[in-house]
């Protein structure tokens, strides 16, 4: 690290406090993606019934995207002189995506997915806010990820609308 690269450079020594704050946010985002992968794997398999099929297929397709997000966050942590945390640092938070009591309870899964995506959207907007002042490269990366999450959330809002229209959610 050289100290004379100018104040805009997130890799400059003088910006180490901002960089460490950003790395902390990226670590949290990384864990959110990893937990989402776990939850989507489970929920792409567990649900029963004819109506579950569409949801299971959609979640199965999203797993690859969420894993890709985790990999992008990991790569950016490393680029910012951080260390991608080990698995023993993980602590689960997605109460709302645990298997429902009934495997045919599709609305519970849909609502859980919407909550996960809404949480990611809120937190990634925070990262974008901070990065917009300190690190346009991270800002750019997270904007692209944010768009994916918005797409996921909108799709599941559409699924929920159908259940609500039929009085099932």
- Note the residues at the interface with Fe ion (CB under 5 A): 33, 66, 69, 149, 152
For the bound state, the minimum distance from the C-beta of residue 86 to Fe ion, rounded and expressed in Å, comes to 21
Residue 69 or residue 134: which is nearer to Fe ion going by CB?
A: 69
SS3 14: helix
Residue 33 or residue 135: which is nearer to Fe ion going by CB?
A: 33
Q: What is the dihedral of CA 126, 113, 39, 84, to 10 degrees?
A: -10
SS3 120: helix
For the bound state, the minimum distance from the C-beta of residue 104 to Fe ion, rounded and expressed in Å, comes to 24
Q: Could you identify the residue written with the tokens 């910006």?
A: 15
Per-residue tokens: 7: 């104040």
For the four alpha carbons of 137, 142, 147 and 151, in that order, the dihedral sign comes to positive
Residue 23 or residue 70: which is nearer to Fe ion going by CB?
A: 70
For the bound state, the minimum distance from the C-beta of residue 117 to Fe ion, rounded and expressed in Å, comes to 5
Give the span between the Cα atoms of 30 and 84, in whole angstroms: 9
For the bound state, the minimum distance from the C-beta of residue 121 to Fe ion, rounded and expressed in Å, comes to 9
Residue 27 or residue 149: which is nearer to Fe ion going by CB?
A: 149
């Amino acid at each position: 690290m050289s100290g004379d690269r100018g104040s805009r450079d997130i890799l400059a020594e003088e910006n180490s406090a901002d960089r460490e704050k950003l790395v902390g946010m990226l670590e949290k985002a990384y864990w959110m993606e990893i937990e989402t992968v776990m939850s989507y794997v489970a929920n792409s398999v567990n649900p029963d019934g004819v109506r579950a099929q569409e949801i299971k297929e959609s979640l199965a397709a999203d797993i690859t995207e969420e894993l890709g997000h985790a990999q992008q966050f990991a790569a950016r942590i490393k680029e910012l002189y951080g260390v991608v945390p080990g698995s023993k640092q993980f602590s689960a938070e997605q109460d709302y995506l645990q298997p429902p009591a009934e495997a045919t309870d599709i609305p519970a899964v849909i609502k859980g997915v919407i909550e996960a995506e809404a949480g990611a959207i809120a937190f990634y907007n925070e990262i974008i806010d901070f990065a917009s002042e300190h690190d346009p490269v991270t800002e750019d990366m997270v904007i692209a990820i944010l768009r994916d999450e918005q797409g996921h959330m909108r799709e599941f809002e559409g699924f929920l609308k159908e259940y609500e229209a039929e009085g099932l959610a």
